[in-house]
Chains A and B, each alone.
Chain A
Amino acid sequence: MTNRFRTASGGRIDRAAPLSFRFDGQTYSGFAGDTLASALIANGVHLIGRSFKYHRPRGFLSAGSDEPNALVNVARDAARAAPNLRATQVELHEGLKAQSQNRWPSLSFDAGAVNDLASPFLPSGFYYKTFMWPAGAWKRFYEPKIRAMAGLGVAPELPDPDRYTQNHAHCDVLVVGAGPAGLAAALAAAESGAKVILCDEQAELGGSLLSEISATIEGQKATDWLAATLANLAGRDNVTLLPRTTAFGYFPHNLIALAERVTDHLATPGTALPRERLWQVRAREVVIAAGALERPLVFPDNDRPGVLLADSARTYANRYGAKVGERAVIFTACDAGYRAALDLKAAGVTISAIADLRAEVSGELPARALAAGIDVRPSTVLVGAKGRLRVSSAQLAKVKNGAVGPTETIACDSVLMSGGFTPSVHLFSQSRGKLVWDGAAGAYLPGTSVERERSAGACRGVHGLQRVLEDGYAQGEAAAKASRDHASPARGATPAPATPSRAFAANAEDLGSAGFIGATPHGRNPALAKAFVDWQNDVTSKDILLATREGMRSIEHVKRYTTTGMATDQGKTSNMNTLGIVSEALDTPVPKIGLTTFRPPFTPTTFGIFAGAARGDVFDPLRKTAIHDWAAEHGAAFEDVGNWKRAHYFPRAGEGGRMEDMHAAVARECKAVRASVGMFDASTLGKIEIVGPDAAEFMNRMYTNAWAKLEPGRLRYGVMLREDGFVMDDGVVGRMAADRFHVTTTTGGAPRVLAHMEDYLQTEWPDLDVWLTSTTEQWSVIAVQGPKAREVIAPLIEGIDLSKEAFPHMCVREGTILGVPTRLFSVSFTGELGFEINVPSTYGRAVWEAVYAAGERFGITPYGTETMHVLRAEKGYIIVGQETDGTATPDDANLGWAVGKAKKDFVGKRSLARDAMSAPDRRQLVGLKTTDPKVVLEEGAQIVADPSAPVPVPMLGFVTSSYHSAVLGRSIALAMVKGGRARIGQKLMVPMPTHAIEVEVVEPVFYDPKGERLNG
């Protein structure tokens, strides 16, 4: 294909660098510097997509990020596929592959276009009124079908292989937008020494200057001034220039989110660079120089392919050397139509006519158009356009006193329209700044600021190149000064100084603020004419009028009822025209109707950029103990406990070489511990060192137990309550010295317990001389449990008398194990003789291996958390968070013995005194034995007296822990049952979906009830 619509010369494309690309399977050529849109236009392609609802053929409307129609899928491969990209922002690279969307079977013949014929049955809000029968069909049938029909692109199903990074940055002045205002602002701020970041969503910095062919600044061509200014800025250490970077979100305290597209424009991106980078910029001051967006005119058939915004057509010609057609009709409400006409005519496009909505046409640009021989028609509107896949003619009519006269048809292959320019206040609105209606400008403009920002140039209604440059410079200078002075947040509008601090000699056409909002008159049957307001969501002026007839008065209601402005373009081209139509229909001034809120993101943003590096194994910290690798090497299966990986069980090859399942492995591990000895990595237990003269007093206040009399060298099981009297955490505590406690917590509770303690210490008892230090990761903890535990560790320990008499159950001693200092606990969570060896975690693995070697002659068996759970359940030891659920008192959990009744106070004591806390029908911890010993109950199952009782069946409680006990040869379970202790001996039922299981309520200690095995 040739570039038939390419100008002979000019533009910013590199004609020496031709590129080949594919669109919908067909190969085209373009040049470096093209966008996908400009390259297709240069090839004469305007049909780019199908509309959202009616599947109408659509072409390019604009040349920028406001484009509502030209959404394409760009794919490097099946995984690297990005749907819904605006073709106007897709930079061309060699081999680029793009596809149109929302059409079947093809773009030029789309079966879904039947919706267009059915449009009388699909008015706005149709889904609120129809598809109501049969009940239930909406979810199963209608909604999926409608969603499939009303489509945007399809997300790829493969994992995204690209990398995304995130970067935090700080600056004095962030300038958003690198058009003339932004450039001048950045220049002013940079010259004053401020640290400046200048970002722009486009590939090239320059904004509207990139489309200038005749304007001059400081005696230079505008594009030469641009090049010199960018070189000036780039040469400064205090300036960061960020092209291809969209400021998409304005968050509190001047945190601005920027999305930088790093590699999408490269033919071969490589693997070193991220695809996109999120910049989280904390700026002292922000200058918003977002420019203005050209407004379409709302006339019938204004969505035909080949109908474009006039200034966009000018950009395609001037910047990209791409002509939108050969014969253009222009429909305008301001001088932008004339400026486009003159530039396009210079590029070789025939201008068949300019229809001007205005009656009075005067000024320099219309005069030049007339002088150039262009057919200029005041008081004229377009009332329609023909051509399904590409516009072929426009129908013009005179308007006289509001009446539309006879139509005249003019053949053309493009229609250019301009309703004036809407200041881009999106970012200002996101900053929660208050917009004010400016009647003279016919626009909402930034009013009261909330954040430390100021707008500059066209986005605050300033027009004319010279004034825009001077405003930009003044705002940049003011922002830099405010950043130095740490001035209080700017309040109220920030008018530019009366005399700009720097004058710019600029020569360019000033388009003024003229324009039109609303729908232009057409005199056609309103039921049949489709004049589009919102291209992306297929909303017509008729839909807006229907909404007002059905009683919608607020713009927020009109928006939601019609979906106008709710597409991914956020109504960039549609909001003001909607307001104009509603204003006229309700005969209410625009500011009384309001304006919908602009929300982030400014343009659609990838999920990848939000995820950043947080994916896969680094999605969250994955914590491993010092012994983890040994467990992995010995075949452990792991489970997640909070962020920790814990060995769950250690399957071995069983009979016939088959690996044990969890049940078999756990049965073997349990028997080994009961019969001989096992070892367990308990390093994840939370540990807190509580030190200071008031340590014992602090312990007394935090725990239910009494601590004052606990001698150094002794351990005690401690229970901690919340203020409401319910069990919060438990753990074994060692008194190392009069003023030093080694506290352990549950694995998951460690940070919560430390925060709870710090909270009380800092806010309630700052007078106590005691300090808390987390030592969770200081110590590896190796539990050696079983009748042979003492014999296993004895040869390794020095400096501790391990004899039964000198080192009974629940003691702590300091010594060394193979030369490594240890805090050795005689403690058991299995009911067997047991020790917990605490060693600095640097030596955790080495000591573990030494213990394993020393235990080999006893068949020492490493076991995981599942066996730990079974062994403790056999003994009726609770796990906080499994037996307790935040509503259990110590007494409920059989821990009443751990409450120091004589203590004056402790956290939760007053709550325990409430009557309800000792009611006899509270749920209490009991054991359950199924009548059939082979049946293992489901944890969480409900317990009832009579499953055949009328619904709702009274619930007595639930199963909290349930296992098969290999040692007992039967199932066991723990449960919380109403008045449970009084029910011991009773039969209750556990109803399941198919049948009910009979259980007997028993004491919760199933094994060695007298605890004789603890002492070995």
Chain B
Amino acid sequence: MVESPSMTLPLAPARPLTALAAASRDVAAARLVALGDAARLVFRGREAAIGPAGEAFGVALPRESCRFNAAGGRFAFWLGPDEWLLLAPGAEAAPIFAAIEAATSGLPHSLVDVSARSVGIEIAGERAAFVLNQGNPLDLSLDAFPVGMCTRTVFHKAEIVLVRHAPDVFHIDVWRSFAPYVWELLEDARRELA
């Protein structure tokens, strides 16, 4: 192979929210954070594969609808009766992918690496739910949307996965090309907050 000068340069990753997050105003009542890279895998499968997949991932896949399990800094989000989003912040997808494939070999399932498909946004603070409710029609009271809940839903016209980690802490997972749209509308909703 011919050496090319560009090969000596490390390739820089580019994320869709970098510029928006840098220009963002700090609002204590609803802080916005662009979350870092993560391994994301979509696991789908028949009953037999569900247990082994969770074991290999290190987080049991929740069987209750719209709930997530967490262990060792990893998360398994229930998105459908046979569908989970597996999230490992800061991790590489390839070894996780290999481990789950090994554990579920021969069991009907599908595992797809979607690490680059979406990005994460954290919105935290006492008015976080108010800000989210400007583009999301769900009841975000703690009775209806408790800590530990996750669901695929919308923010304005974008599909998102919405997760509640703490009473005042929500995470959004949104497809990359929709992320600036969601971010800008979150910013708009925060404008009236000090």
User: Binary interface profile of B, 1-30, with partner A (CB < 8 Å = 1, else 0)?
Assistant: 111111101011111100000000000000
CA distance A273 to B144 in the complex (A): 28
- Contacting pair B139 A621 (CB below 8 A): no
B-chain residues with CB within 8 Å of residue A955 when the two chains form the complex? none
Q: Indicate the member of A271, A617, A618 with the most B CB atoms within 10 Å.
A: A618
| Interface stretch of the complex, out of A323-331, A344-352, A770-778 | A770-778
Does A722 touch B at the CB level, under 8 Å? no
**CB < 8 Å: which of B1, B5, B15, B181 contacts A794?**
B1
A-chain residues with CB within 8 Å of residue B168 when the two chains form the complex? none
A-chain residues with CB within 8 Å of residue B3 when the two chains form the complex? 795
B134 to chain A, nearest CB (A): 5
Do A818 and B11 contact each other (CB < 8 Å), given the known contacts A621-B158, A778-B114? yes
Does B45 touch A at the CB level, under 8 Å? yes
| Interface stretch of the complex, out of B50-58, B61-69, B171-179 | B171-179
Does B44 touch A at the CB level, under 8 Å? yes
CA distance A819 to B7 in the complex (A): 9
Does A847 touch B at the CB level, under 8 Å? yes
CB contacts under 8 Å to B, within A746-773, are 769-771, 773
Does A1015 touch B at the CB level, under 8 Å? no
Do A843 and B184 contact each other (CB < 8 Å), given the known contacts A621-B157, A692-B110, A771-B44? no
Residue of A nearest to B19 (CB): A629
A-chain residues with CB within 8 Å of residue B112 when the two chains form the complex? 689, 691, 773, 775
CB contacts under 8 Å to B, within A601-642, are 612-614, 617-618, 620-626
Does A796 touch B at the CB level, under 8 Å? yes
- Contacting pair A691 B110 (CB below 8 A): yes
Does A167 touch B at the CB level, under 8 Å? yes
CA distance A202 to B171 in the complex (A): 38
**CB < 8 Å: which of A771, A795, A842, A849 contacts B110?**
A771
- Contacting pair B133 A842 (CB below 8 A): no
- Contacting pair A166 B177 (CB below 8 A): no
CB contacts under 8 Å to A, within B140-160, are 141, 144, 156-158
A-chain residues with CB within 8 Å of residue B115 when the two chains form the complex? 778, 840, 842
Do A795 and B4 contact each other (CB < 8 Å), given the known contacts A626-B14, A840-B115? yes
Interface residues in A, total, Cβ within 8 A: 61
A-chain residues with CB within 8 Å of residue B177 when the two chains form the complex? 621, 623-625, 644, 777
- Contacting pair B4 A777 (CB below 8 A): no
Residue of B nearest to A857 (CB): B4
Do A773 and B42 contact each other (CB < 8 Å), given the known contacts A274-B192, A613-B188, A621-B158? yes
- Contacting pair B108 A842 (CB below 8 A): no
CA distance A853 to B117 in the complex (A): 26
A498 to chain B, nearest CB (A): 34
B179 to chain A, nearest CB (A): 10
Does B189 touch A at the CB level, under 8 Å? yes
CA distance A166 to B192 in the complex (A): 13
- Contacting pair A854 B11 (CB below 8 A): no
Looking at chain A's contact residues, the main secondary structure is: mixed
Does A911 touch B at the CB level, under 8 Å? no
Do A769 and B46 contact each other (CB < 8 Å), given the known contacts A272-B192, A618-B188, A623-B177? yes
Does A208 touch B at the CB level, under 8 Å? no
Q: Indicate the member of B3, B109, B110 with the most A CB atoms within 10 Å.
A: B110
CB contacts under 8 Å to B, within A770-816, are 770-771, 773-779, 794-796, 798
A713 to chain B, nearest CB (A): 19
- Contacting pair B44 A773 (CB below 8 A): yes
CA distance A97 to B192 in the complex (A): 26
- Contacting pair A617 B184 (CB below 8 A): yes
B-chain residues with CB within 8 Å of residue A692 when the two chains form the complex? 108-110
- Contacting pair A850 B184 (CB below 8 A): no
**CB < 8 Å: which of A165, A168, A777 contacts B116?**
A777
CB contacts under 8 Å to B, within A848-887, are 849-850, 853-854
CA distance A769 to B9 in the complex (A): 44
**CB < 8 Å: which of B83, B141, B156 contacts A170?**
B141
CA distance A796 to B13 in the complex (A): 17
Do A170 and B130 contact each other (CB < 8 Å), given the known contacts A795-B2, A841-B176, A846-B13? no
Residue of B nearest to A847 (CB): B11
A165 to chain B, nearest CB (A): 6
Does A448 touch B at the CB level, under 8 Å? no
Does B125 touch A at the CB level, under 8 Å? no
**CB < 8 Å: which of A163, A166, A777, A854 contacts B118?**
A777
- Contacting pair A853 B5 (CB below 8 A): yes
- Contacting pair B42 A167 (CB below 8 A): no
- Contacting pair A843 B5 (CB below 8 A): no
B-chain residues with CB within 8 Å of residue A272 when the two chains form the complex? 191-192
Does B167 touch A at the CB level, under 8 Å? no
CB contacts under 8 Å to A, within B88-146, are 94, 108-118, 130, 133-139, 141, 144
- Contacting pair A167 B134 (CB below 8 A): yes
Residue of B nearest to A844 (CB): B14
- Contacting pair A842 B37 (CB below 8 A): yes
B126 to chain A, nearest CB (A): 13
CA distance A274 to B7 in the complex (A): 51
B47 to chain A, nearest CB (A): 12
Residue of A nearest to B191 (CB): A272
B-chain residues with CB within 8 Å of residue A770 when the two chains form the complex? 110
B151 to chain A, nearest CB (A): 15
Do A613 and B156 contact each other (CB < 8 Å), given the known contacts A771-B110, A773-B110? yes
Does B185 touch A at the CB level, under 8 Å? yes
CA distance A625 to B144 in the complex (A): 36
Do A795 and B189 contact each other (CB < 8 Å), given the known contacts A613-B156, A617-B184? no
**CB < 8 Å: which of A169, A273, A769 contacts B108?**
A769
A-chain residues with CB within 8 Å of residue B114 when the two chains form the complex? 773, 775, 778
B-chain residues with CB within 8 Å of residue A849 when the two chains form the complex? 6
**CB < 8 Å: which of A614, A691, A778 contacts B156?**
A614
Q: Indicate the member of A795, A841, A843 with the most B CB atoms within 10 Å.
A: A841
- Contacting pair B181 A841 (CB below 8 A): no
Q: Indicate the member of B2, B7, B14, B137 with the most A CB atoms within 10 Å.
A: B14
- Contacting pair A843 B6 (CB below 8 A): no
B-chain residues with CB within 8 Å of residue A626 when the two chains form the complex? 14, 16, 176
B-chain residues with CB within 8 Å of residue A771 when the two chains form the complex? 44-45, 82-83, 109-110
Residue of B nearest to A791 (CB): B2
- Contacting pair B111 A794 (CB below 8 A): no
Residue of B nearest to A853 (CB): B6
- Contacting pair B110 A613 (CB below 8 A): no
- Contacting pair B4 A796 (CB below 8 A): yes
Do A777 and B175 contact each other (CB < 8 Å), given the known contacts A618-B188, A818-B11, A843-B11? yes
A-chain residues with CB within 8 Å of residue B156 when the two chains form the complex? 613-614, 618
CA distance A779 to B112 in the complex (A): 12
CA distance A486 to B101 in the complex (A): 46
B-chain residues with CB within 8 Å of residue A795 when the two chains form the complex? 1-4, 7
**CB < 8 Å: which of B6, B13, B138 contacts A842?**
B13
CA distance A617 to B109 in the complex (A): 40
- Contacting pair B185 A778 (CB below 8 A): no
Do A613 and B137 contact each other (CB < 8 Å), given the known contacts A623-B177, A847-B11? no
CA distance A355 to B112 in the complex (A): 84
B-chain residues with CB within 8 Å of residue A168 when the two chains form the complex? 133-134, 136-138
Residue of A nearest to B49 (CB): A769
Known A796-B6, A819-B11; 20 more pairs at CB < 8 Å = A165-B188, A167-B133, A195-B141, A280-B137, A613-B156, A618-B156, A618-B181, A621-B158, A622-B180, A691-B110, A769-B108, A771-B45, A775-B117, A776-B175, A777-B117, A778-B113, A779-B116, A794-B1, A846-B13, A850-B6
Q: Which 5 A-B pairs have the closest CB atoms?
A: A691-B110, A771-B110, A623-B177, A840-B116, A769-B108
Which residues of chain A have a CB within 8 Å of any CB of chain B? 163, 165-170, 195, 271-274, 280, 282, 612-614, 617-618, 620-626, 644, 689, 691-693, 769-771, 773-779, 794-796, 798, 818-821, 840-847, 849-850, 853-854
Cross-chain pairs A/B with CB under 8 angstroms, 12 sampled: A166-B134, A168-B137, A623-B177, A644-B177, A692-B108, A773-B114, A776-B117, A778-B113, A795-B4, A798-B1, A840-B115, A846-B14
